Amino acid sequence: MRSIITKYTTIMLGLLLLVTGVYLVKTNGDPQGIMRALPYVCIGVGCGLFGHGMGDVISERAIRNAPDLKKKLDIEKHDERNIAIANKAKGKAFDMMTFVFGALMVSFALMGVDMIAVILLVFSYLLVHGFALYYRFKFDNEM
C-alpha cells in the first residue's frame, strides 16, 4: 500500500512541478537572477518525477495479472550474474568519468570559464572520488 501511495505522490509532485514551471515561464516577462533558470529546473525535475512514477505504475499494472512473468523478472533482477554485470559496467563508466571530467576541468580552466563553475566542478569531482575511496576502504575491511 505504501508503495502505491509513493508512486502516485511522485506522479502528482511531478505534475505540480511541471505545471509550476510552465506557469512561471509564461507569466515572467523579463526574469532576473534565479528566476531565469528556476522555471526550467521545475520543468525538468517535474518531467523526471512524472515519468518515473508513471513508469512504475504502468510496469506494475502490466505484470499484475501475470505472476509467472513477475517471478521471472524478480529472478532476473536479483540474479548474481546480472548484478555482477551491472557492477562491472558501473566500474567501467566510473573509470571513463574520471578521465572525461578531468579533461573537462582542464579545458574549462584553460578557456577562462568563471572560477566558481570550475571550483564547483572540481569539488564534485573530488567528492565522487572521496566516496569511491571511502567505500573501497570499507569493502576492503569487510571482505
Which grid coordinates are listed for 70? 513477475
Q: How confident is the model at residue 2 (pLDDT cuts 50, 70, 90)?
A: low
Q: pLDDT per residue over 101-119, tens digit each?
A: 999 889 988 998 888 888 9
**Grid coordinates in use for 13?**
509532485
What does the pLDDT read at residue 130?
A: 93
Burial class of 15 by CB neighbour count within 10 A (0 to 12, 13 to 18, 19+): middle
Question: pLDDT tens digit string along 14-43?
Answer: 999 999 999 998 988 788 878 888 899 999
The 10s digit of each residue's pLDDT in 60-82 is 888 888 888 888 888 888 888 88
